[in-house]
Structure 1
Amino acid sequence: MADDARVDIGQLTEDQQLALQQFTAVTDQDVKDAIPLLRRCQWNVHIAIARFFDGEPAEDPVAAAPSSNTPPPQDSRHQETLQNGFTNSPRSSTSSRRRIDPAPRIVPQLESQVTTQAPLLLTILFTPFNLLYSLLSRYFRFVGYLFPFVPRFWGRLTASNINTPASRRTTGGRRPLNPRDTAARFIRELEEAYGTNNLPFFENGYAQAFDLAKKDLKFLLVILVSPEHDETSSFIRETLLSREVIDFIRSPENNVILWAGNVQDSEAYQVSAALNCTKFPFAGLIVYTPQVSSSAMGVATRITGLMPPDQFVSKLRQAMQSHAEPLSRVRAQRAEQQASRNIRQAQDSAYERSLAQDRERARKKREEAERQAREEKEALARSLAQELQARNQEQWRRWRASSIPVEPGNDVKDVVRISLRLPDGERVVRKFRADADIEELYAFVECYDILQSESGIRRVETEKVDEPKGFQHEYKFQLVSPMPREAYELKAGGSIKERIGRSGNLIVERTDLEEDGESDDDE
C-alpha cells in the first residue's frame, strides 16, 4: 500500500478526482488513506462513505499484513492484575500492541419497519388470491357497515389473539421504541429498581454515541445487562453504582461517554451481537484507533461478569493509557487542521471584506460619475434653454417694437400723456392714444432701448421680424403710481385712459429681482 500512499493525484481521471474530493469533504480523511478505500469500492463514493462509517480499515488487511521476514509477535496472553496493570514491563508493552477488535456502528431498525419484497414469480402466482382477498375485504366491510353488531361480536371472539402481537408475547411485553425512547426507558427502569444515581448516561441511541465518541475522540463505555442473569443485580449495585466507578466516569479528564442497554431491547441485542458478547453483564470500552485505520473504532477492552469496583476501574484506566498516545497525536493533528481551517476562514473573510469594500468604492465612483454626467447634461440643457429663451426674447422685442405705433402728433386731441421713470432713473415722457390698450404702454417700456436708438429705429423700419413660434412673453416689471400707490397690472386689461386717465406719473418696478432674491434664499 506504499504505492497507493504515494500515488499522484494528477494521474487519476476526472471522475476519480471528483469522487476523491467528495469522499474527503464528507469524512475529513487524508488523501493517502482515502485512495485505497475508494479503489476497493471501485471509486463508488456512497459505498466508500458507508464502509468508512462502518469502521472499515483504509488499508487492505492482506496488503498491510507483516512480511515474512518480520519476527512473529510474542504471546501476549497473561493475567492482568492490579499489581502488573501499571508497570511498564515488556509484557505489558507487548500486550498494548495486541490485535484490536473492530467496533462496528449499529443502526437499529424496528421489526415493524422492516419490509420485504416478494419475488416476481410469487407475486404473479398470488395475484388472483390478492384480488380475491381485496374483494372479500370490501364485502365484509360493506356487511359491517350494514350490520354494525357483527364486527363487535367478531372482535370479542378474537380479542385475545388479535390484540396481543406475537413479538410482545415472546419478549415479555417490551414494546419496541426508537433509540432515544429506549435509552430513556432503560434509565427510568434503572432508577426505579436501584434508586437515583449520578451516572451520566447518554440519552440517545448507540449510533449517536458512537459518532460522538469518534468525532470528539472520547472513550465510549458500553454497558449491556440482561435481567435473566443472576449477577446483573450485584454488578449494578456493587460495581456500576459504586462511588469509585461513578467518579471515574464523570471525571472530565477521562473523556468517557456512557451508554447502557438491556439486551431484551432490539438495539442493545444487536450491539451485543456485533461486539461478540457471550457473557453478561458486559462492559466494553470503544475508542478511536488511528494505529489500525484512520476511520476505525475498536474495542480497547472487554469486562464480563461480576468484578470489584477497583479492579473494574483499573482495567478501564489501563486500556485508556494504552491508547492515550495515539489519541493525543490525533487531537494535535485535528487541532492543527482546525487552526489552519480557521486561518483560511479568516483570510477568506478578510478577502471578502476587502472585495466588498472595493465593490462599494467602485459603486460610489460609478454613482459619482453618473451624477456628474447628469449634472453636466442638465447644465447644458439649461444653458441651451437660456440661450433659446434669450433669442426668442430678443426676437419678440424686435417684433413688438415694429408693431408699436408712433407717438401721436399735436393734431391729435384725444391723447394721454404719461411720464415714466425707468429702473435706471431715466425719466421718459410720451403721449399715447387714449384708446390704446394698457399692454401698449408695457410694450413701449419693454422695447424702449430699441426704440430710442437710431440704429434700432432703422432696423425696425427696414426689417420684417416675425413673432417667435411657441414663445410666451412675460413682462418682468409692473407700472406703479407713487401717490397714491396703485399698481396697474397688465392682466386687468383696459385702455390707458380708462386705467390711468388723461395723464399719469408712473414708476417702472422690476418683479424679476424679487424672484431672484427668493431663489437665492431657497439655495
Structure 2
Amino acid sequence: MVQEASIDSADDSAANSTLTASQRTALATFRAVTSIASDADALPHLTATNWNLERAVDHFLEPAASSPSTPNDNGAPAPPPPTTTAVANPNPRPFPRWLLALTSPLRFVWSLFSGLTSALIRLFGTGPNRAIEAAPGATPSARFASFFDARYGTSHPPFYLGPYFSALAAAQSNLQFLLVYVHSESHRLTPRFSREVLCAPSLVTAAEPMVFWAASVSQRDGAAVQRALRAPALPFLAIVAPPSSRVSPDADLALANYGTVLAVRAGFPALNGGGDGAAAWVDRVLARHGGILVAARQQRDERESARLLREQQDMEYAAALEEDREKERKAQEEQDRVEGERERLRGLEVRRERKREALGEEPEKGPGVASVVMRLPDGSRVGRRFEKANAMEVVFDWAEVNRVDIEKASLVTTYPRRSLRYPEDADMTVEQAGLFPSAMLLLEERSDE
C-alpha cells in the first residue's frame, strides 16, 4: 500500500508539473466534485473537454464511462467501452498575458460570486442536501422518503424506511430481490426520472415483488451504496440479489457485502421508455434471474421440512421414551409391592410362629377360665380357653396364629356386640372385654373411621 501511494504521488507530481495555475485549480475542483483518487485519472476527462469543468463532470458521469463488469439493462455484463487515451499536452500553449489580464476581473468576480453563493446555501440551508435533512423522519431513509413524497408525490414503490443493510436483510429473509435507487437532487435528469419513471404505475406494479430502498448521494448510506455498487451515472437504479450468507442490519459500510448487482439503469438511458421501459426491464431481470429465488425458496422449504420432521421425530422419540419410563416405573413399583408383600408375609409367618410358642399350654377348664370360639373367614371355627385375667393381647396373638391379620380385622362379640381392635384394646383383660365365661368371636374388616 505504501508503494502504491508513492507511485500515485509521483504520477500526480509529473502530471501537475506542466499545468498552468488555472488548470491546476480546475483539476483540484474536478477531483473534489468527482472524488477521483488521482490527478492522472482526472486529466483525461478535462483534456477531452478542452478544460471545460462542467463538460468534464458530464463526461465523467456519462454511461459510456461505466465499469466493464457492470451489468447492462438485460442483466448481462456490458461489453467493455472502447479504450481511449487522453494525455495532457506536455507543452501546453500559454494564454496571452493580455488576455489573462483582461479576464482577471471577470474571473475574480465569478469566483467571489460562486463562493458567496455556496456559503449562503450552507448557512441558510437552501440547497437540496439541507432540504433532505430538514424533512421529517427519525432516520435518514425516512427523511429522504418525506422529501421525495413532498417534491414528487407518493405514487411510487413503497420505500423501505431503514438503512441499506436492514433492507438487504429484509429482502434476504423474504427471499426477494432489492431494488435500489440512488438519487441526486442537483442532477439535471433527476426531476424527469423521478416523475416519469419512479412514479409510473407500471413500475410500481412491476416492483411489488421486491424491496425498494432509496437514498440521496448527499447521505452517508447513499454515498456508500453509490460507491459499493459502482454507479456509472445518475440517476441510478439497480436490482440486487442479497448474499447467501446472513446479512447483519448493523454491518460496517466499508467491509460488508452489499449483494450481487444483477442489472442497472443509469444516466440518460434510464429514461428510455419511461415507466413502461423500466417496468419491462424489471420483468426481464426477474424472468432471467428468478431461478435464484426459486432455488432459495426450495432450499428453505427443504430445510423447514427437515426441521419439522426432526421435531416430529424428536417428539415421538421423547413420547416413546417417556412411555417406556412409565412402564418401567410401574413394573418396578409392582415388583417392589410384590417383594414387599412377600417380605411382610415372611415376617408374619415368623411372628406367628413366635406367638404360637409364646401362647404355651391351654389352661384346663375351671372357674377362672373363659372359653372362646372364633369363626374364621372360610366358615371354620377354632376354640381355646384363656384365663379371665389374661390380657386381650393373648387373644389377639391366638387369632394371628390362626392366620387372622389383626391389623386389618376386628374381633367382634355377638352379644352384647362389641368390636375389639389391636392394639387399642390389647391391654384390657379377657373378663373386661366380655369374653368370660364364654364368647363367640366374629371377624370383621376394620375401617379407618
Under a length normalisation based on structure 2, what TM-score does the superposition of the two structures give? 0.51
1:515 aligns with 2:445: yes
Structure-2 residue corresponding to 1:317: 280
1:256 aligns with 2:210: yes
Q: Aligned letter for 2:337?
A: E
Tell me, in whole angstroms, the C-alpha distance in 1 between the residues paired with 2:418 and 2:165.
Answer: 103
Tell me, in whole angstroms, the C-alpha distance in 2 between the residues paired with 1:316 and 1:515.
Answer: 94
Structure-2 residue corresponding to 1:387: 349
Deviation at 1:333, TM superposition (A): 3.1
Structure-1 residue corresponding to 2:18: none
2:295 aligned residue (329, 333, 336)? 333
1:235 aligns with 2:193: yes
SS at match of 2:213: strand
2:228 aligned residue (245, 267, 274)? 274
SS at match of 2:313: helix
Gaps of 5+ in 2: 1-62, 64-71, 81-121, 245-257, 399-405
Deviation readout 1:146-180 (Å, 9 max, x if unpaired): xxxxxxxxxxxxxxxxxxx99x9997497699x97
How has the CA–CA distance of structure 1 residues 480 and 222 changed in structure 2, closer, same or farther, with 3 Å as cutoff?
closer
Partners of 2:179 and 2:240 within 8 A in 1:
yes
Q: Aligned letter for 2:287?
A: A
Tell me, in whole angstroms, the C-alpha distance in 2 between the residues paired with 1:280 and 1:333.
Answer: 33
2:390 aligned residue (422, 439, 454)? 439
Tell me, in whole angstroms, the C-alpha distance in 1 between the residues paired with 2:333 and 2:79.
Answer: 75
Report the count of equivalent residues.
308
How has the CA–CA distance of structure 1 residues 308 and 244 changed in structure 2, closer, same or farther, with 3 Å as cutoff?
farther
Q: Aligned letter for 2:224?
A: Q
Question: How many percent of aligned residue pairs carry the same amino acid?
Answer: 16
1:210 aligned residue (143, 150, 168)? 168
Tell me, in whole angstroms, the C-alpha distance in 1 between the residues paired with 2:384 and 2:222.
Answer: 124
1:303 aligned residue (260, 266, 282)? 266
Partners of 2:202 and 2:275 within 8 A in 1:
no
Tell me, in whole angstroms, the C-alpha distance in 2 between the residues paired with 1:320 and 1:445.
Answer: 102
Tell me, in whole angstroms, the C-alpha distance in 1 between the residues paired with 2:433 and 2:243.
Answer: 116
Structure-1 residue corresponding to 2:100: none
Structure-2 residue corresponding to 1:98: 77
Tell me, in whole angstroms, the C-alpha distance in 2 between the residues paired with 1:225 and 1:323.
Answer: 23
1:355 aligns with 2:317: yes
Partners of 1:481 and 1:487 within 8 A in 2:
no
1:246 aligns with 2:225: no
Give runs of aligned pairs for residues 29-48 of structure 1, distance below 5 A: none
Partners of 2:179 and 2:211 within 8 A in 1:
yes
Deviation at 1:354, TM superposition (A): 4.1
Deviates more, 1:349-358 or 1:267-276: 349-358
Structure-2 residue corresponding to 1:87: none
1:365 aligned residue (296, 306, 327)? 327
Partners of 2:235 and 2:267 within 8 A in 1:
yes
SS at match of 1:284: strand
Tell me, in whole angstroms, the C-alpha distance in 2 between the residues paired with 1:387 and 1:429.
Answer: 21
Structure-2 residue corresponding to 1:284: 238
SS at match of 1:327: helix
Tell me, in whole angstroms, the C-alpha distance in 1 between the residues paired with 2:199 and 2:365.
Answer: 131
Deviation at 1:421, TM superposition (A): 6.8
Deviation readout 1:199-235 (Å, 9 max, x if unpaired): 3111222223334445656443322222333443343
Tell me, in whole angstroms, the C-alpha distance in 2 between the residues paired with 1:95 and 1:385.
Answer: 96
Partners of 1:234 and 1:306 within 8 A in 2:
no
How has the CA–CA distance of structure 1 residues 223 and 325 changed in structure 2, closer, same or farther, with 3 Å as cutoff?
closer
How has the CA–CA distance of structure 1 residues 336 and 224 changed in structure 2, closer, same or farther, with 3 Å as cutoff?
closer
Tell me, in whole angstroms, the C-alpha distance in 2 between the residues paired with 1:446 and 1:275.
Answer: 103
Give runs of aligned pairs for residues 26-175 of structure 1, distance below 5 A: 97-99=76-78, 172=130
How has the CA–CA distance of structure 1 residues 221 and 100 changed in structure 2, closer, same or farther, with 3 Å as cutoff?
farther
Tell me, in whole angstroms, the C-alpha distance in 2 between the residues paired with 1:440 and 1:280.
Answer: 117
How has the CA–CA distance of structure 1 residues 192 and 347 changed in structure 2, closer, same or farther, with 3 Å as cutoff?
closer
Tell me, in whole angstroms, the C-alpha distance in 2 between the residues paired with 1:380 and 1:239.
Answer: 94
Partners of 1:282 and 1:303 within 8 A in 2:
yes
Tell me, in whole angstroms, the C-alpha distance in 2 between the residues paired with 1:187 and 1:338.
Answer: 33
Deviation at 1:271, TM superposition (A): 1.7
How has the CA–CA distance of structure 1 residues 180 and 218 changed in structure 2, closer, same or farther, with 3 Å as cutoff?
farther
Partners of 2:414 and 2:441 within 8 A in 1:
no
Structural RMSD (CA): 5.4
Under a length normalisation based on structure 1, what TM-score does the superposition of the two structures give? 0.45
Deviation at 1:184, TM superposition (A): 0.8
Tell me, in whole angstroms, the C-alpha distance in 1 between the residues paired with 2:182 and 2:134.
Answer: 17
Partners of 2:202 and 2:279 within 8 A in 1:
no
Tell me, in whole angstroms, the C-alpha distance in 1 between the residues paired with 2:429 and 2:368.
Answer: 19
Structure-2 residue corresponding to 1:152: none
1:183 aligns with 2:141: yes
Structure-2 residue corresponding to 1:136: none
Structure-2 residue corresponding to 1:192: 150
Tell me, in whole angstroms, the C-alpha distance in 1 between the residues paired with 2:286 and 2:410.
Answer: 102
Gaps of 5+ in 1: 1-78, 80-92, 102-164, 409-415, 448-471
Tell me, in whole angstroms, the C-alpha distance in 2 between the residues paired with 1:421 and 1:363.
Answer: 54
Tell me, in whole angstroms, the C-alpha distance in 2 between the residues paired with 1:272 and 1:493.
Answer: 112
SS at match of 2:358: helix
Q: Aligned letter for 1:510?
A: L
Tell me, in whole angstroms, the C-alpha distance in 2 between the residues paired with 1:213 and 1:308.
Answer: 26
How has the CA–CA distance of structure 1 residues 176 and 439 changed in structure 2, closer, same or farther, with 3 Å as cutoff?
farther
